[in-house]
Structure 1
Amino acid sequence: MQKNIWIAAKYLRLSIEDGDKAESESIVNQSILIDSYMKSTSDITIVDTFKDDGFSGTDFNRPGFQAMLKAIENKEINCIIVKDLSRFGREHIDVDRYIQKVFPQLGVRFIAINDNYDSETANITDTHLVLPVKSFVNDTYCRQNSQKVRSHLSAKRNIGEYVGNYVSYGYKKCDTDKSQIEIDPVAAKHVRDIFNWKMEGMSNQLIADKLNELGVLAPADYKRATGVNFKSSFQTHLTSRWSAVAIIRILKNPIYYGVLQQGKSQRINYKVKVQRALPKEEWVIFENHHEGIVTKEEYETVQMLLAKDTRIAPGETRLYLFGGLLSCGDCGGNLIRRTNSYKGEKTVFYICSSYNKKKDQCSRHSIREDVLIQLVMDSLKMYSKMTDAIRSAVEYLKENSLDTQTLIQHDDQILEVRNKVNKYYKLLHSLSGNLASGVISRDDYALLRERYQTEIKSLESNIEKQEEYMEDLLENKLLCEEWVNTFLEKPSLGDLDRDMLLQYVEKINVFEGKKIEIVYRFQDELVTAARLAEQIGKTKQEVAV
């Protein structure tokens, strides 16, 4: 009687989860072992080999495995040979499903050499007890290995070590320590250009177009050109080009001013490759982790611009002077730029966008650009005088070693809140007497007592926050020369340009009657510092007397 000849395929798999066993489990060694096994059998002919090099055993959506299933479906093979069960897979539920249900239904013979398993000769105990136990053990190994890797990476993140496979464009891993990153001078130049062009008023798409025209390699191509084996889900063509999306991804990344953010997402579990985003409070963040390509101030300026409507007018390459900075003081909408030409003279003015769309939504809020420029320049002159006074007060503070706590305690706003606290304490203490004398009822007593206690708690919390804020401003900012030089830098009072506006102004609210309100960057610090300067001035006068 002629033997039934099985048409077989080798299935080979290796992944990084195999750790130190990588050499013994190598694709080549698996193939050699199967070839050796074939010398002892005469009823099997191998016609194909399917392999997955670098794919986890917990996921059956592997290209080699899927191609093998397709071959089975097309009746090209009816036998699968693997070195052992772990090469076939490590997810015990799917392993058992294929071996106990899918393959028998399809008439496929399954052989795991080192596990001494052959579905053609196996009994019920082998198939339904021994093999599932071995499959479960392989699954457990994978779970434990995943937990160890996750714990190891978490520990490295928590001490500020970089654990990513690739570094953001503009940086590279240090040659001497791969867990640290440093500036890549070539790419960093283009990152600086991107930030500068954005601050000059160019749109994201125009920046991308300019980089493409200059022949600057896009991040993915640059990584490959420098020898990095880089793969990205963002790239859909053999070569990549700069896009507006790539530009905004760079502009929004705080890594460029020295902040490292890691642990922002996590795999659902070791069996599922899908990542879930983690809440920001669970991220691992290190400030001043590495040298920045841009300054924090430049980064924050760009974030401010990105948050605004900064669309560029048709035919223009850059934003206008006040682009993205003007808001209606009443409805909060943007102001839009308009021009009128009369007898060869062009007049530029701004009006409320809500009014422009529908007249009953808001009023016109019209203001000419030349009037606006003059109002802003006048305000900047006052700003300059204020920073002079603050700088003078800070110098006096340093030279005379004034007690910062005393300055804080005597701040006018804090004293005012303390007076309110004292008033409520007096009212609280008077309640018992008023109750005893019959002025108020017990219900009124309970209601007023709760109200006064709530008010006192709120005011005392306010005082504590103000004191902490002022202490931080004094100790960590005003007494820090580098911060003061940035914060108190005097504006150049020549012609108003966009660089000057972005350096000092966050937004300008325009009201009817050509009135404006300028919201300066660092405005809270500026106002508080001015109050401290006033207090220092009083101390200086008292000493002089």
Structure 2
Amino acid sequence: LGRDYVSVGNYTDSYFPADGIRFIAVNDSIDSEEGESEIAPFKNILNEMYARDISKKIRSSHRLRGNMGEPLSQPPYGYQKSPENKKKWIIDPEAAEIVKSIFKMCLDGKGNETIARILQEQKVLVPMAYWQSKGLPRGGKKTQANPYRWCKTTVQKILSQQEYCGDVINFKTYSKSFKNKRRYDNDPENWMIFKDVHEPIIAREDFERVQARIANTKRRAPKPHNGQKSIFSDLLFCGDCHTKLRYHTNTINKDIHYFVCANNKVDYRGSCPGRHYVRADAIEQVVMLELRRMAEYLSDDEDAFAELLSRKTDKEILKEQKHCEEKLQKAITRNDTVSRLYEKLYEDNATGKVSDEWFMQLSHKYEVERMELKSKTTALRKKLSESGKQQQQRESFVLAVRRFMQMDYLTAPLLRELIDHIDVFETEGTGKNRTQRIVIYYRFVGYVEIPAAPRHPHYKADTRQGVAVEYLTEPKTA
């Protein structure tokens, strides 16, 4: 008959008789021409109860498997199931190279649409077509006419999948009922994340850099006649309202490119009173001068430069360690409490104070919480043990500065390796006495105050006749 007694009842009692349809259920010995069956409604109810019970058991099984770190989904593009163990993922070399190239293009400053176009021009099969060519079963649309036509949403999904770092993430989606097959997105706080389970395709640091870039990137591709996208896009922020600055090209003189606050009142009906207008060529000159000052300071006195970076990062390390230690202590205390509650529940069940049904439900609840606390404490201990990572970050920063010393011009990858963001403030003053503050915050260390270097005074530019702007690089003082 069926497993949804409401729908089956509607068909057998109303729809079939009204439309003259004969209904036969061979296994249940029911034929609508022999008259109504009094037992059929009860069988429908029992069938639904059976389906609901099976659904509960399957959900419980999935929950236990998911909490143990077993992947509950198919491996993403770039991975495949291991022939020896279907519960393990191994790298698919051919697809993994495409994944690496997608992340590299993103770090080089290319957008999702540009990446998709490049892959299509290179005749790279889309994931579904690739799986079909390998004879791998996958759910999803299989009727796309052009197997090389990549969509920007596919690129976006690949760039957002943490599984490429070697992690397993379970419970990203859920269903509300066994009757409703639709999957709903789960809140990230309900995910179960198991790190370093399989071999990574993308380094975790590169993945985090891509996520930071994605979070700060919401813009259309520039029009061809306006020139290439600026390498400073996504790095400039308003010093007052902290909104990103948007890149523009002058409508009359196409050689003039500039940035303005995306939240200013004049252009975008925002809340920021000033436009924070700054020329793109001025930004480039200011950044070049500051990086040269830093490079020369490193070259002149490497020990002093290392001590300067150490003073900047040690304070942040101590603050983060204290925060992690507090969270770790709370997790350990709660874990001890859960263990005591579990022991008491077992004793109450043994003495008959708690029924077997309640014991199974509560014990499952405590076991899930215990597994979550175990995962949390492990992650916190690992974070505390990685105190030496800050030293590695400082060394990476110094290496990036050294690479800049060997280059004659700035590139997007080098900028994103060195700079976290740049704050641009509103221009002050009038005429040739105008000043504008541009403050650079570097990765891992924030703002770095380089000792005075008379060889490199502040950059000053004549923006138009009778108007000159001097660009200051020190933060505002309270």
TM-score tier, shorter chain, comes to: 0.5 to 0.7
Residue aligning to 1:516 = 438
Equivalent residue runs for 1:54-69 within 5 Å? none
User: After superposition, what is the alpha-carbon deviation per residue over 1:407-450, rounded to whole angstroms, capped at 9, x for unaligned?
Assistant: 969x9xxxxxxxxxxxxxxxxxxxxxxxxxxxxxxxxxxxxxxx
Question: Which letter does structure 1 place at the counterpart of 2:235?
Answer: L
Q: 1:126-145, aligned counterparts within 5 Å?
A: 127-128=37-38, 130-145=39-54
Once the two structures are TM-superposed, the CA of residue 302 in structure 1 deviates from its matched residue by 1.7
Query: Residue 327 in 1 paired to residue 237 in 2?
Result: yes
Q: Distance in 2 between matches of 1:159 and 1:507?
A: 40
Find the aligned partners of 2:416 and 2:308 in 1 and give their Cα distance. 22
Alignment match, 2:306: 388
Task: Using the TM superposition, give the Cα deviation of residue 211 of structure 1 relative to its aligned residue in structure 2, in angstroms.
Answer: 0.6
Structure 2 residue identity aligned to 1:195: F
In 1, the alpha carbon distance for the partners of 2:194 and 2:265 equals 46
Aligned counterpart, 1:497: 411
Aligned partners of 2:172 and 2:191 also within 8 Å: yes
Q: In the alignment, residue 150 of structure 1 is paired with which amino acid?
A: R
Instruction: State whether residues 206 and 317 of structure 1, in contact with CA within 8 Å, keep that contact through their aligned partners in structure 2.
Output: no
Deviation string for 1:506-526 (max 9, x for gaps)?
Answer: 2111223242222333347x9
Unaligned ranges ≥5, structure 1: 1-84, 398-406, 412-469, 528-545
Q: Given the alignment, which residue of 11, 14, 25 partners 1:112?
A: 25
CA contact (8 A) 2:78 2:94 kept: yes
**Is 2:148 the counterpart of 1:237?**
no
Inter-partner Cα distance in structure 2 for 1:94 and 1:476: 58
Any conservation in 1 of the 2:400–2:418 contact (CA below 8 Å)?
A: no
Which among 273, 279, 282 is matched to residue 190 of structure 2?
282
After superposition, where does 1:378-527 map in structure 2 within 5 Å?
378=292, 380-381=294-295, 388-389=306-307, 475-478=385-388, 486=396, 489-491=399-401, 492-494=403-405, 495-511=409-425, 512=427, 513-523=435-445
Query: Structure 2: 5+ residue runs without aligned partners?
Result: 322-379, 428-434, 449-478
**Number of residue pairs aligned between Structure 1 and Structure 2:** 362
- Structure number with greater CO (CA < 8 Å, separation at least 6) is 2
Q: How does 1:201-350 map to 2 (within 5 A)?
A: 201-233=109-141, 237-240=144-147, 241-306=149-214, 307-309=216-218, 311-315=220-224, 319-331=229-241, 332-336=243-247, 338=249, 350=259
Cα deviations by residue, 1:356-397 (Å, 9 ceiling, x for unpaired)? 73899415543514432334414644996677227889xxx9
- For residues 60 and 297 of structure 2, the distance between their equivalents in structure 1, rounded to whole angstroms, comes to 52
Secondary structure, counterpart of 1:300 in structure 2: helix
Please provide the CA RMSD for this pair: 3.9
Partners in 2 of 1:340 and 1:132 — Cα distance? 74
Cα distance in 1 for residues equivalent to 2:246 and 2:9: 66
Query: Following TM superposition, by how much is the alpha carbon of 1:228 offset from its aligned partner in structure 2, in angstroms?
Result: 1.3
Match of 2:274 among 345, 362, 382: 362
CA contact (8 A) 1:199 1:302 kept: yes
Cα 1:377/1:106, change in 2 over 3 Å: same
| Residues 394 and 444, structure 2, Cα contact 8 Å, conserved in 1 | no
CA–CA separation in structure 2 for the residues paired with 1:254 and 1:308? 19
Tell me the alpha carbon deviations over residues 227-283 of structure 1, each in whole angstroms, 9 at most, x when there is no partner. 1122315x6634442011111111122122223222122111111112233222211
The separation in 2 between residues aligned to 1:338 and 1:355, in whole angstroms, is 19
Residue 498 of structure 1 aligns to which amino acid in structure 2? A
Q: TM-score, normalised on structure 2?
A: 0.65
SS of match in other structure, 1:172: strand
SS in 1 for 2:176: strand
CA distance in 2, matches of 1:102, 1:199: 59
Q: Which residue of 2 aligns with 1:102?
A: 15
CA distance in 1, matches of 2:16, 2:94: 55
2:70 is equivalent to residue 161 of structure 1: yes
Percentage of matched positions with identical amino acids: 28
Contact 1:328–1:365 under 8 Å retained in 2: no
- Over 3 Å counting, the alpha-carbon distance change for 1:276 and 1:498 in structure 2 is closer
- Contact in 2 for aligned 1:202/1:318 (Cα 8 Å): no
User: How big is each residue's C-alpha offset from its partner over 1:154-178, in whole Å with a ceiling of 9 and x where there is no partner?
Assistant: 21111111121x3211111111111
Which structure has the larger Rg? 1
Note closer, same or farther for the CA distance 1:387–1:238 as it changes in structure 2 (3 Å cut): farther
By how many angstroms is 1:98 displaced? 2.1
Partners of 1:338 and 1:107 lie apart in 2 by 71
Find the residue that maps to 2:60 and give its secondary structure: helix
Residues 1:173 and 2:91 aligned together: no
Secondary structure of residue in 1 paired with 2:175: strand
Inter-CA distance 189–328: structure 2 relative to 1 (3 Å threshold):
same
Q: Return the letter of the residue paired with 2:26.
A: I
Q: Could you say which residue in structure 1 is the equivalent of 2:344? A: none
